Amino acid sequence: MQLLTVSQLTRYLKASLESDPVLQGVWVQGEVTNYSASSQGHQYFSLKDESAQMRCVFFRGAGSLQNRRAALFSPLGAASVKLRNGMAVLARGRLSIYETRGDYQLYVEEVEEAGVGMLHLRFEQLKQQLQDEGLFDEERKRPLPRWPQVVGIVTSPQAAALRDMLRVLRARCPLVRVILAPTLVQGERAPEQIAAALDLLNAQGEAEVILVSRGGGSLEELWAFNEEVVARAIARSRVPVISGVGHETDTTIADFVADYRASTPTAAAAAAVQDMAEWVRALVAHRTRLTELVEDHIDAWRDELARCRRDLLRASPRGQLASERQRLDEASSRLNERMKRVLEHRQERLKSAAQHLHALSPLQTIARGYAVIRHEGTGQLVTSVTQVEASDALDIQVRDGHIRGVVWHVLPDEGEL
């Protein structure tokens, strides 16, 4: 057995409370009593029910971060509740011990009136449940069709939201056909009807995208879109669903499940169809492109034609004749040239031969003092003593004339005979 001081025990209890995860984030339902507020803005009160009560302290600024975050994801916003005695509330906070007095108390981070608070709790619980089931997963989101021709709408036929959506569709893309699946959008029967309308559009089968929509309203008026039946009907829809509920600041469970979340009915309609102005722009661009392309084709064929013409001319018989003729011309002029050169060469040779001949002529020899002797009768050249006898008549040619004479005597040289 261990002996403890009061402080030790209190600290031990405090530590064990603060290490309990359940007690560190707990919602408590009860009625406010013994309410007081300090000049610093801290609020002190007790929560009680028929048989018990507990101390609570709500420090100024406590839990404000959580409240801000909750405001982003809850339909309730961060409206702060003005507490008073007798008010039924839900308070969220952590349990701890105020050591000085030994009181255990709830350190409040968030307080809501019981009615709204219950809706908030249901919202958070359903959201958590569906999230755990994977209904909000990005992979589940189906792409919206690029060219829906039939747009389904689930909303009230009387609602301003429907008029807004039809106005947007008419302005952006009057090519589409709208199929309205009428339903209540608020009240007890609304959730079942909305789910049935979604199923009906799926069964009918023409709609390529479905708008689930309602105009702005109070939390209670929008509540149908936070009901599980609606969430499940959206999840099982084969056709992609666009949600557009309330104003920009409203977020419903339907928004989380939908394939595309639009902030308002108008935005949902705009998201469903392409703006006709885009098509007009696309058509203009296509016309320009078409003209450019056909001009490219014509240019390409024109180039091709020019190339063919060149090839054809090169290959034609007429062209071939012309080039043969040209070759012939060239050959004949080469021939002429050659002939001319040959002739010139011959002339040249002739001339030099003539000169040579001249140099060899006996006349030249005679001129130097020699004589040419021939038989007077036969004209035969006499170059030897054996050719003549005494009394033969001879013709002796000298430089400037002929001498006629008769042989007296023939005297051969010694050793010649």
Partner 1 sequence: MSKNAETEFAGLTFEQAFERLEAAIQALDEGDLSLDDALARFEEGTRLIRYCAHLLETAELQVQQLLSDSSGAVTLAPFESEQ
CA dihedral sign of residues 402, 408, 410, 413:
negative
Residue 266: exposure state from Cβ atoms within 10 A (0-12, 13-18, ≥19): middle
Smallest separation, CB 284 to partner 1 (Å):
9
Instruction: Point out which span in 113-121, 173-181, 243-251, 352-360 binds partner 1 (CB under 8 A).
Output: 173-181
| Binding of residue 179 to partner 1 (CB under 8 A) | yes
Whole-number Cα distances in Å, 377 to 300, 374, 406 = 102, 9, 12
Residues 349-368 that bind partner 1 (CB under 8 A): none
Smallest separation, CB 157 to partner 1 (Å):
7
Residues 291-310 that bind partner 1 (CB under 8 A): 291, 293-294, 296-298, 300-301
Smallest separation, CB 175 to partner 1 (Å):
5
CA dihedral sign of residues 326, 332, 336, 338:
positive
| Binding of residue 290 to partner 1 (CB under 8 A) | yes
| Binding of residue 37 to partner 1 (CB under 8 A) | no
Instruction: Point out which span in 2-10, 158-166, 241-249, 250-258 binds partner 1 (CB under 8 A).
Output: 158-166
Q: What are phi and psi of 207, to 5 degrees?
A: -65, 135
Whole-number Cα distances in Å, 315 to 27, 303, 328 = 99, 19, 19
| Binding of residue 177 to partner 1 (CB under 8 A) | yes
Nearer to partner 1, 285 or 343 (CB): 285
Specify whether the backbone of 371 is left (phi greater than 0), alpha (psi in -120 to 50) or beta. Answer: beta
Nearest to 106 by CA among 64, 53, 146: 53
Nearer to partner 1, 236 or 341 (CB): 236
| Binding of residue 160 to partner 1 (CB under 8 A) | no
Nearest to 58 by CA among 47, 75, 41, 42: 42
Q: How far apart are CA 258 and CA 239, in angstroms?
A: 11
Instruction: Point out which span in 47-55, 133-141, 201-209, 339-347 binds partner 1 (CB under 8 A).
Output: 201-209
Smallest separation, CB 301 to partner 1 (Å):
5
Residues that bind partner 1 (rule: CB under 8 A) add up to a total of: 40
CB atoms near residue 179 (< 10 Å): 16
Q: What is the DSSP string of 24-84?
A: GSEEEEEEEEEEEE-TTS-EEEEEE-SS-EEEEEE-TTTTHHHHHHHHHHSTTTTPPP---
For the chain, state the CA radius of gyration.
Answer: 65
Residues 40-59 that bind partner 1 (CB under 8 A): none
Residue of 276, 367, 371, 393 interacting with partner 1 (CB under 8 A): 276
Residue of 201, 235, 245, 262 interacting with partner 1 (CB under 8 A): 201
Interface with partner 1 by CB under 8 A: which residues?
147, 149, 157, 162-163, 166, 169-170, 173-182, 197, 200-201, 203-204, 276, 279-280, 282-283, 286-287, 289-291, 293-294, 296-298, 300-301
